[in-house]
Amino acid sequence: METESIFEATAAKRKVKKEQKAWKYIQEVCSLDDDGLDKLAIIDGNRKYTYKRMFREWERYASVFTALDMTEEQNARVGVLGSTCAEVTFAFYGLNMVGAQVSLVASWSAFNFERIAETIRQENLTDFIVTDDLARPDLVRELMRKRKELGLNHVIVLHVTMAGATAMPVMTAA
């Protein structure tokens, strides 16, 4: 007897729809059994996250975004400018969980405030997150100075762990 893939079984069993939130589908697929939750989900430098831990991080980020009213009910549209790291993934899915619209901003934009400001205007962003490895002082200063003009409720600098034996300088990684 031929067995169907876990994705086919889950989609049929749970009647997954295409418009379903990505985080919910990922949680359902990985939560079919306890072993699925203990599998490796993310490797970021020397840090490793199981699905169980990753889901906890998503929920933790979602609770912060909810407390800041960065939700679907508030019509939040959030720009995320960050390096390729676990924290950006947690922020993306945490925002997805609370129903906020998310725009990922290209990391090379970090070096040109006008390009970032144009993206904020074009995407009608209400909030902006930048990882601290890309948050140059002049960029953060301009974002804070022009926050109201750009229509931003929050400018958040997200700490990224870039320490340890396996961390690479950002430009080397790029």
On whether residue 11 sits in a domain, the answer given is no
Whole domain around residue 79: which residue ranges? 18-173
Residue 3 lies in a domain: no
Kindly report whether the global pTM for this prediction surpasses the value 0.85: no
Kindly state whether residue 1 falls inside one of the protein's structural domains. no
Indicate the pLDDT class of residue 1, thresholds 50, 70 and 90.
very low
Domain holding 31: CATH number? Answer: 3.40.50.980
Domain total in the chain: 1
Residue 10 belongs to a domain = no
Does residue 27 fall inside a structural domain? yes
- pLDDT of the residue at 96: 92
DSSP secondary structure string for all residues of the chain: -PPPPHHHHHHHHHT--TTS-HHHHHHHHHTSSHHHHTSEEEEETTEEEEHHHHHHHHHHHHHHHHHTT-STTTT-EEEEE--SSHHHHHHHHHHHHTT-EEEEEPGGGGG-HHHHHHHHHHTT-SEEEEETTT--HHHHHHHHHTHHHHT-SEEEEE-----STT---HHHH-
Question: Per residue in 97-128, pLDDT tens?
Answer: 999 999 999 888 888 999 999 999 999 999 99
In a domain, 129, yes or no: yes
